[in-house]
Amino acid sequence: MRHLALAILLAGCGSGGGHVQVDAVVGGGGGDASGADSGGGDAAAVDTPVAPDAPPDSAVPDAPAGVITGGPCSSGATGATAYRVRWADAGGTAQVVYEVNGLPDHSRDHTGAFGQIGFTPRFVDPFLGDGGLQLDGSDFVDIELTTNGVASIASATLSIFGRSFNTTASGSFNWQTFVDVGSTPTNFVSNVAPYRWYSAEMTSALAPGDPNTLIRIKAGPASGVLVVNRIEICVVAS
């Protein structure tokens, strides 16, 4: 009888251990490492209460991304990043690096610096800052994009990261599109390092649903010359 009772007791313990193991597998179905560790079979783990797993990511709704999908603006401007480019040094020539296009339609996506015949965009100021494109009275930047897929624009901000490339005077910048023009105040961009973001509201110059948007950017007074490391357009749109 004593042998029979011992056998019954062992069988009961075996079935209880099997039940705990099944629960651990179900709890670890999310695939995370903590769930896998909890099923290690240690006897102490059997008596330790296990909190329910967090709901899978798919069960938690994401915040609405909106129609502009480029993420937060590096400049700190309101809205999401619709477009951002950087100027890199290619042996003394300023070369465009495309960082973000958060617009719905990418079919038109080009940025360049242009000037008179024989013009070569210069990369300058690599010692007082990150360096960038020299933008002065003899050249300009054109940004070609499309706002197809954008039904309305509540606000748009044009920002540059850099400084006035002049030892004694601050500068500014202006822009024009097919629908409007605008400019910052004179001496808006400091000539003092380090580089900073300088942002200006340009909502009226950016039309929704435009397949052929062209934004032309020039340096302005007082210095009339800037070093531009980055250009960013931030938009609140639907």
* Structural domain boundaries in the chain: 2-59, 80-237
Distance, CA of 164 to CA of 134 (rounded, Å): 10
16-25, 48-57, 123-132: range with lowest mean pLDDT? 16-25
Q: For the residues of 166-204, what is the DSSP string, one character each?
A: -SS--BEEEEE-SS-EEEPPTT-B-SSSSPEEEEEE-GG
Tens of pLDDT, residues 174-223? 999 999 999 999 999 999 999 999 999 999 999 999 999 999 999 999 99
Which pLDDT score, from 0 to 100, does residue 73 have?
A: 98
Higher pLDDT pick, 29 / 111: 111
For residue 33, the one-letter residue type is A
Tens of pLDDT, residues 133-176? 999 999 999 999 999 999 999 999 999 999 999 999 999 999 99
Q: Whole-structure pTM over 0.75, yes or no?
A: no
What does pLDDT average to over the chain? 81
Tens of pLDDT, residues 43-95? 333 343 334 343 343 333 333 347 999 999 999 999 999 999 999 999 999 99
Which pLDDT score, from 0 to 100, does residue 66 have?
A: 79
HSE at residue 3, side-chain half, CA atoms within 13 A, is 0
Counting residues of the chain whose pLDDT is more than 70, the rounded percentage is: 73
Higher pLDDT pick, 33 / 97: 97
What top-level class would CATH report for the domain 80-237? mainly beta
90: number of Cβ within 10 Å = 12
8 Å CB contact between 83 and 102: yes
Distance, CA of 27 to CA of 38 (rounded, Å): 9
Is the pLDDT at 4 greater than 50, yes or no?
Answer: no
Which pLDDT score, from 0 to 100, does residue 26 have?
A: 32
Distance, CA of 219 to CA of 184 (rounded, Å): 10
